[in-house]
Amino acid sequence: MAFAVREKLKLVWLRRNEYENRALRDWFASRWKIEVGLYSYGCFDPWRISAHTRIGRYCSFARSVRVVDQNHPLDALTTHPYLYEPRFGVVEQGLPEPQWLMVEDDVWVGHNATILPGCKFIGRGAVIAAGAVINQDVPRYAIAAGMPGRVLRPRFDEETIAAIEASQWWLLDKAALRDLIRRNPDAVFHPNAANLAGIGRQP
């Protein structure tokens, strides 16, 4: 019990700047197998975000998002955790480790969305609407919603998506992003293939 309290206090301390805290990211990767890129937030909660989750940079997770990495075994005698969690003293081995969920950069996951084990990839720039239940992969720059979740439409046309991908803007740090907004605000707030030309990551 005391250990759990200490971990929660440590989490509160480290989450004071969850956008940029590298110690927080190192702790989550080693302690819970949750890897989070710089500037992403809302995903530092091992009770909501399961192990085997890899999240890119600049991602936005609502505080009520739930990521589930495994289902209860439907083909066993019972779905009770006694059959797959050795800590209860009934079985000696748990279920095999699941495949990792890859969430690329700049993904927005809305309130009360649930990512189920059938989803193992959410592409860069995707949006998961509030309340969605996602059980399949989501392509880059897609907007997905509903229960069950499905892709409604892409955020941009193909030419703009290609220009965004070529820019690799998500590799910029905060200072470089601020400079890009100063130099070319239209490319940031109203991107298209023309105004994104030449804004690639600076060496």
DSSP-assigned states of every residue in 16-44: GGTTT-HHHHHHHHHHHSEEE-TT-BS--
Predicted pLDDT of residue 203: 39
Q: Are 142 and 151 contacting, i.e. CB atoms less than 8 angstroms apart?
A: yes
pTM recorded for the entire structure: 0.89
| The pLDDT of residue 2 | 54
Q: What is 2-155's CATH number? A: 2.160.10.10
Element (H, E) at 159: helix 158-167
Domain boundaries, the chain: 2-155, 157-203
**pLDDT per residue over 30-72, tens digit each?**
999 999 999 999 999 999 999 999 999 999 999 999 999 988 8
Write the pLDDT tens digit of every residue in 151-199. 999 999 999 999 999 999 999 999 999 999 999 999 999 999 999 987 7
